[in-house]
Amino acid sequence: MQINRIISIILILGLFCGFCTFEHLRKSEKAVVKIIAPAVIELEKEVICVPNVETFTADLNKNQTEFEKKYKISHEDALKLGYLTDKFAEDFLSAKSVKVKYTGEKTQNCAFSDIYVQKQSYREHLINAGFANGFSKQLEKAKKLNLVILNHKSNKYHKLNCKYGSIAHDVIILPERQLPKDAKPCKFCHVEKTSAPAAKTYPLAISNGDIKMYLTDLTLTLKPDNKCKSMVCQELTELINSAQTSIDIALYGWGQVPNIYNALKKAKQRGVKVRIVYDISKDNYYPETKLLLKLADEKIGDNPQILMHNKFFIIDNKKLFTGSMNFAPTGLSGFNSNCVFSINSLEIAKIYEAEFEQMLKGKFHGNKTKLQSKTIKLDDTKITPLFSPKDKVITNNVIPLINSAKHYIYIPAFIITHDELSNAIINAHNRNVTVKIIADAANSINTRSKLKQLRQAGIPVKIENYAGKMHSKTIIIDDKYLITGSMNFSNSGENKNDENCLIIESERFARYYREFFEYLWNKIPYKHYVRAEGKDSIGSCSDGIDNNYDGKIDMQDEACQ
């Protein structure tokens, strides 16, 4: 009996010691808050200087003249080396938890310490990779870079040795291929050029009989407007103008676009009945929705605690317009990256109408009746409409397609937080399926995001670095399947919110989006962390939008100052 008591006490003490050790190790790790320069890192509550290293940076505010003279490197090549070094630091440290080993030396601005990521010395990696204290390994690579200075405020770009680029305040160094299409060359340093280089563009619409797919390119539209110049906005206008009897709208948010609003007013005047189901959740960012509701013959809002996140129009019970796009200037101008389908099909419209009628009668979320799943064939394309939360879209439909993938899985996504989906993606990567992900900057630091887990598994993940959002909620598989709609790849998207999703089996549509994804992939650099509003996010400091939802727009935001 006494022996058992002693054993119990020993076990309890052992567990207590283990817990204390775990807590000590956990608290000894610090999160990287900001990379000020490759050798100056801001951690929680302190700034660290990496000892005994000399590095270049692409920050034009840093005077590097002494280093340039010491290593006999031109100012232009120093900035190119700095661009590569900044990228190396981002990849190694950004969004990581690190340990520090202090030297004991301090200055007014920082404490000197090496930084360790999973027992790997950042200082040693910096030196061994050729980014510190000798640059022969990287200098030839740096010289081949075609970099320019972009002034966000004037939208002009300069050569690296241009004095007008160097004295500007709101600037960023980036590859010339990433320039916005409307950027203008500095007339002093681009004497031979009279216009900006022709930006590679990608056709943003494809039609297959009764099905049209529209994509919007966030890299080319750096400021939203309400002029309805985009093809996707013009398509919606034409659909509304064609309405004879009814327009049913399910929407998360509405922002005024005169062409669309006036088309709806004219439809009302010719006797078309307008019915609206809309979101009233506490986090809804679309106050102008109330203007649209004035046109409604019937309308209803949902539960304020859960999102009604659908985005679709049904015209005359026979035409459907749906996708990831919110009906606001940020979506309809092409500012955000979205995928939208316009489908002329009585059968598909009828399925959506059944879902709409449930919500119009006050049945939202878990109170709805599950509709019978049905695949509709239009020419050589198969379309399966699905709805959250009743269809368990990710578990019952998306993951089986991920598990069947043989060649590639490309994911342009606003957010990925779903555990089982992330595991399925990692398993696909482990069986040598090519996986690539482009995620939105605003959600890349979400605490529930699976991007870190996916990266640790070896999957390449890029974060968009433009003003607009990667708002698409799409998965492309093997030039065969396209999964798209309003549903984010999250637990709420599958199990709580009202959402709609299309699973499209079509080589033509899947291949088309795959090529567009590759076009975006080649324009977006590797960065583990990009501020949604800041100088690294092209155009975000001059677009008039609160990109990170902190209540501060453009130069009001500290990251833009």
- Is a pLDDT exceeding 80 seen at residue 9? no
Distance (Å, whole) CA 355 – CA 498: 10
Range of the domain at 120: 27-140
Catalytic residue of the set 30, 319, 462, 471: 471
**CATH number, domain with residue 111:** 2.40.50.90
Query: Are 209 and 165 part of one and the same domain?
Result: no
Would you call 379 a catalytic residue per the annotation?
no
Count structural domains, the chain: 3
What is the H or E stretch that residue 262 is in? Answer: helix 258-269
Domain-located, residue 544: no
**CATH number, domain with residue 224:** 3.30.870.10
Query: Are 151 and 269 part of one and the same domain?
Result: no
Domain-located, residue 3: no
Query: Are 439 and 502 part of one and the same domain?
Result: yes
CA distances, 549 to each of 284, 285, 413, 507 (Å): 11, 9, 19, 38
Query: Are 165 and 82 part of one and the same domain?
Result: no
280-298 pLDDT tens trace: 987 778 999 999 999 999 9
Report the mean per-residue pLDDT for the chain. Answer: 89
Domain-located, residue 353: yes
507-534 pLDDT tens trace: 999 999 999 999 999 899 887 778 899 8
Query: Are 290 and 402 part of one and the same domain?
Result: yes
Query: Are 506 and 424 part of one and the same domain?
Result: yes
362-377 pLDDT tens trace: 999 999 999 998 999 9
Q: How high is the pLDDT of residue 21?
A: 43
* pTM (predicted TM-score): 0.74
Query: Are 374 and 270 part of one and the same domain?
Result: yes
393-442 pLDDT tens trace: 999 999 999 999 999 999 999 999 999 999 999 999 999 999 999 999 98
Query: Are 88 and 158 part of one and the same domain?
Result: no
Catalytic residue of the set 152, 190, 462, 473: 473
Query: Are 119 and 155 part of one and the same domain?
Result: no
Domain-located, residue 539: no
Residue 236 tokens read as 């919606």
Query: Are 89 and 109 part of one and the same domain?
Result: yes
Q: How high is the pLDDT of residue 493?
A: 97
DSSP secondary structure string for all residues of 56-86: --S-TTS--HHHHHHTT--HHHHHHHHHHHH
Query: Are 387 and 477 part of one and the same domain?
Result: yes
Q: How high is the pLDDT of residue 195?
A: 45
Domain-located, residue 211: yes
Q: How high is the pLDDT of residue 30?
A: 86
Domain-located, residue 16: no
φ, ψ for residue 39, nearest 5 deg: -110, 10
Catalytic residue of the set 114, 217, 440, 478: 478
Query: Are 123 and 152 part of one and the same domain?
Result: no
Percent of the chain with pLDDT over 70: 92
Would you call 473 a catalytic residue per the annotation?
yes
- Give which of 331, 326, 298 is closest to 311, Cα–Cα: 326
Which residues, other chains included, contact 515 with Cβ-Cβ below 8 Å and sequence gap of 6+? 202
pLDDT band at 13 (very low <50, low <70, confident <90, very high): low
Domain-located, residue 371: yes
Would you call 390 a catalytic residue per the annotation?
no
φ, ψ for residue 358, nearest 5 deg: -60, -45
CA distances, 511 to each of 16, 347, 412 (Å): 57, 25, 14
